[in-house]
């Protein structure tokens, strides 16, 4: 139970607070001179709001009745509706109107392309973005004329062909070196590379030239031509020639006495870069595939800086070859 002294304290504090509030209110009233502030003024009936500005009212009425003709601005040969805003972008101190094609905001993409697909034109990296998640950037879809916001392969012009994600990485060389070691019968033909070196002898023409026992001979010696030419240092130089048929390429190869001949074969290292990276190393004429891609491809040619491939269609025919791009 609370002590009586504590209850008395609360009563005394409450009375003191009420007294303070009363004193403050009295002082505020007496010092504020409220009587002089709230005075009444006699008003003539009908003129409670003072004199009406009839001239200004009439001018306002006439302006409301006036007909205004608004001419919309023309953007890209089309009028812009009154209720349509125009996107103006400040880039490097220049104001760019997105409803005009020049200057373009995000080259090489056009302003029309950015507007048509409602791309995030304000993003500096908008060309690298992939809003539909199909593995092709906005810039790639712009170049390939597809919809950057549609990843449904059943829709026309929604997803670019997968072949556009095949890239050339490098050319790989497999050396195969031969040399004619003699210029009289029997003719010595040596393979100096790959190691170990091998030799075979031609005693009559035509004759197969074999470097691996038990395997089908890759070469056949067709004819031999003894030949000598003047030489300023030796007086005369032996340049006799042996002609071989290379069965692997169905082409003829001419070996000159003591001059090494490299019959190198070349392969292309190719990558398929669509969400994941798949790599293939193929030689000319090889047919190859990539996981997730229904088509087959064939390497038509390879050079030091690029490769040409073709795609097989549903009928089994090979389409027009095209040069694949270097790896980005």
pLDDT of residue 289: 96
pLDDT of residue 214: 79
Q: Give, in order, the Cα–Cα distances in Å from 265 to each of 27, 30, 203, 251, 271.
A: 111, 113, 28, 13, 20
pLDDT of residue 43: 62
Q: Among residues 287, 283, 314, 290, which one has the least CA distance to residue 298? A: 287
Q: Among residues 172, 166, 165, 175, which one has the least CA distance to residue 268? A: 172
Is the preceding peptide bond at 108 cis, omega within 30 degrees of 0? yes
| Lateral strand order in the sheet of 198-202 | 198-202, 187-193, 177-180, 261-262
pLDDT of residue 56: 87
Domain ranges of the chain: 73-160, 167-171+265-326, 176-262
pLDDT of residue 172: 95
pLDDT of residue 1: 44
Neighbours of 212 (CB within 10 A): 10
Quote the CA–CA distance of 296 and 289 in Å, as a whole number. Answer: 5
pLDDT of residue 233: 87
pLDDT of residue 2: 46
Query: Mean pLDDT, consecutive 10-residue segments, the chain of 328 residues?
Result: 57 74 68 58 64 84 82 72 77 87 93 94 95 95 96 92 95 96 96 95 95 89 96 91 94 96 95 95 95 94 95 94 92
pLDDT of residue 234: 81
pLDDT of residue 32: 57
pLDDT of residue 20: 79
pLDDT of residue 306: 95
């Amino acid at each position: 139970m609370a002590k009586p002294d504590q209850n008395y304290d609360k009563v005394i504090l409450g009375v003191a607070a009420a007294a303070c509030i009363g004193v403050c209110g009295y002082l505020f009233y007496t010092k504020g001179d409220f009587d002089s502030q709230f005075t009444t003024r006699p008003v003539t009936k009908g003129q409670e709001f003072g004199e009406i500005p009839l001239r200004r009212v009439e001018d306002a009425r006439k302006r409301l009745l006036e007909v205004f003709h608004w001419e919309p601005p023309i953007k890209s040969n089309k009028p812009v509706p009154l209720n349509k805003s125009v996107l103006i972008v400040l880039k490097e101190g220049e104001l760019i109107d997105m409803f005009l094609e020049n200057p373009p905001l995000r080259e090489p993409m056009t302003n029309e392309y950015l507007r048509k697909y409602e791309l995030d034109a304000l993003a500096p990296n908008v060309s690298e973005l992939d809003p539909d998640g199909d593995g092709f950037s906005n810039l790639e879809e712009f170049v390939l004329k597809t919809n950057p916001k549609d990843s449904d392969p059943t829709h026309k012009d929604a997803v670019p062909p997968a072949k556009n994600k095949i890239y050339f990485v490098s050319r790989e060389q497999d050396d195969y070196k031969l040399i004619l070691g003699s210029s009289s019968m029997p003719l010595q033909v040596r393979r100096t590379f790959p190691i170990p070196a091998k030799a075979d002898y031609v005693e009559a023409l035509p004759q197969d030239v074999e470097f691996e026992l038990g395997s089908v001979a890759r070469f056949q010696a067709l004819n031999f031509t003894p030949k000598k030419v003047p030489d300023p240092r030796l007086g005369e130089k032996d340049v006799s020639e042996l002609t071989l048929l290379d069965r692997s390429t169905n082409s003829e190869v001419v070996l000159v006495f003591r001059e090494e001949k490299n019959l190198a074969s070349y392969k292309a290292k190719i990558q398929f870069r669509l969400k994941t990276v798949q790599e293939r190393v193929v030689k000319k004429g090889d047919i190859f595939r990539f996981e997730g891609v229904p088509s087959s491809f064939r390497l038509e040619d390879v050079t030091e800086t690029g490769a040409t491939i073709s795609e097989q269609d549903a009928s089994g025919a090979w389409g027009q070859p095209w040069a694949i791009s270097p790896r980005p």
